[in-house]
Amino acid sequence: MKISHLNAFSDNYMWTMESDGKFAIVDPGDAKPVHQYIEETGLELAEILVTHHHWDHSGGIDELVTEYDCLAYGPSGGHIKGITNPLKDNETFIIQNNIEVKAFSAPGHTDDQLSYFIDEAIDPILFSGDTLFSAGCGRLFEGSPEDMLFSMDRYTDLPPNTLVYCGHEYTESNLRFALAVEPENKDIELRIKEVGELRNSNQPSLPSNIETELKINPFLRCREANVINAAQNYSSKQLNEASDVLGEIRNWKDNF
């Protein structure tokens, strides 16, 4: 299976998975690049995977399902137009005839956001939408810090070699903030250099992987002493729970 991407809007990535003349796509917020991709490659659109309802991730679903008679997997609830196969937490399904995908609940950014995990033989694959970013997490539009910590802990439990494909190119700005939280973190400094070289060559900063994220992402590191101290210094109060640390770090990021 080959994974690639289509660009949408200013910084969205719509991830594609190709094999045997067919492809699946994650979060097609805009149908036009997908139409162009099909015209250029001759591939058949078989499945759509949707992480959450925000328009820049879901805006093209209904048009693509109507045009190509494909399946669209996504959160249940009936609030996303075009979904043909609504999913619940820990539900599995098959794409590309033989690839098993597990959908799991990852709230915080939205209440019912899903992430998708594929346990490949070499490197597992995660499509995290807007919950987990490289060196960051999504804004708490609907969920609470407790919800986001729940999601971060789910990601932490994934195999360290899991490749992380998220929904936006936010890595450089996330790394600048991560370094403000942990200015002595050499792993963040190294990643800033690596990502800078990629972006200067007009290459995506993604995928990352879980092992790297556990070293550089403050939202996955809310139980680390350095991050706790930084959150307490920012908020000027004692923080006794990891969710409180995450909440203060998120407030800091929102105003960074």
Residue numbers annotated as active site:
52, 54, 56-57, 109, 130, 168
Residue-wise burial string across 62-97, b where 16 or more C-beta atoms lie within 10 A, e elsewhere: ebbbeebebbbbbbeeeebebbebebeeebebebbe
Between strands 2-8 and 12-19, the pairing is antiparallel
Nearest-angstrom CA–CA distance, 234 and 30: 39
What are residue 251's phi and psi, to 5 degrees? -60, -40
Residues 6+ apart with CB under 8 A from 145: 243, 244, 246, 247, 250
Cβ pair 135, 174 in contact under 8 A: yes
